[in-house]
Structure 1
């Protein structure tokens, strides 16, 4: 069992997560702001941190960046928020967050994220690139796993080629700007799962960890053909 630090300014969230994690056999320490989180990190040296993004004194992304810059990001961190944008989740993952949980957090998603984070070793932390370095193709290639979906699914690294069908692969151009490369991958990702699940939005939502409303909005934004999965299922 693990020592888990929960950082959230909402008392109800802290109490709920503490109760769930204690029932799972973990030892839980609570912090309501960044100052208490810093103290807990230095003293208890947690195995895992659940960190809220929006806090009144110092936000979670800033605290995450601080820990990375000072060499203290030696444990997996799961970010939490009910109001975060895609860019915020991407930024947190770039800095070093293992995954992202959207509030309200379901029991199943919480326990799955915690188990996945504790099962993986924290990768070696490289210094954060400056603005000029971040704009190079090499830096983009290193950062192509920065999507909300990859964050939700445990921060898996995006490959340079993804097998979309038994007949072949789709290769992604990593020389593109990060946003364009990310959109291309996300479109292929959702088309793959739509085809795999026979066009069932319910199963795709469950598989990708998204709410149906968010999923529909995301597919429309990416220009995904929703009939593709149904056609593929009919052919097979």
Structure 2
């Protein structure tokens, strides 16, 4: 069973993603902020990370930088953002994100992407 880490400071989004992923058979852990997310990636080694951009403390870009600095095979990361700033996606791609979705998103779009990546049907960005 694949392990998914959901990182978002919005409890409604965390719950929605957790429910959908668990119904699809994934093991889900959550982090409510960036520092907890980095600790969880180091401790649990998830197979996939869903990462919000705008969070208090360490934002999603900081988390992405920390994750990409870890040794070993890079974990696929999907960034979700409501950020209206035009350079957010450029900054995410430059930071090494694999996938990027703007909010609002559908749970099915997230699930289809994760299913495809973990089944080897959707390629992970080459670094």
- Normalization by structure 2: what TM-score? 0.87
- Long gaps (5+) in structure 2: none
Q: Render the CA deviation track for 1:25-83: whole Å, top value 9, x for unaligned.
A: 00000000012111211111000000000001111012111222343671100000112
Greater relative CO (CA pairs within 8 A, separation 6+): 2
Q: SS where residue 63 of structure 1 aligns?
A: helix
How far, CA to CA, are the matches of 1:88 and 1:7 in structure 2?
17
More strand as a share of residues:
2
Query: Is 2:16 the counterpart of 1:16?
Result: yes
| SS of aligned partner of 1:51 | strand
Shift of 1:117: 2.9
Structure 1 contact 53–60 (Cα < 8 Å) conserved: yes
Asked if the contact 1:75–1:122 (Cα under 8 Å) also holds between the matched residues in 2, the reply is no
- In the TM superposition, 1:80-95 aligns within 5 A as 80-95=80-95
Aligned equivalent of 2:7? 7
User: How many residues matched?
Assistant: 125
Q: Are 2:85 and 1:61 equivalent residues in the alignment?
A: no
Structure 1 residues not aligned, in runs of 5+:
126-236
Residue in structure 2 matched with residue 102 of structure 1 by the alignment: 102
Distance change (3 Å), C-alpha of 1:72 and 1:33: farther
Aligned position for 2:27: 27
Change (3 A) 1:11 1:72: farther
Alignment of 1:131-210 (within 5 A): none
Residue 86 (structure 1) shift? 3.4
Question: Which one has a bigger Cα radius of gyration?
Answer: 1
Does the 8 Å CA contact 1:8/1:33 hold for their aligned counterparts?
yes
Kept in 2, the 8 Å contact 1:68–1:96? The answer is yes
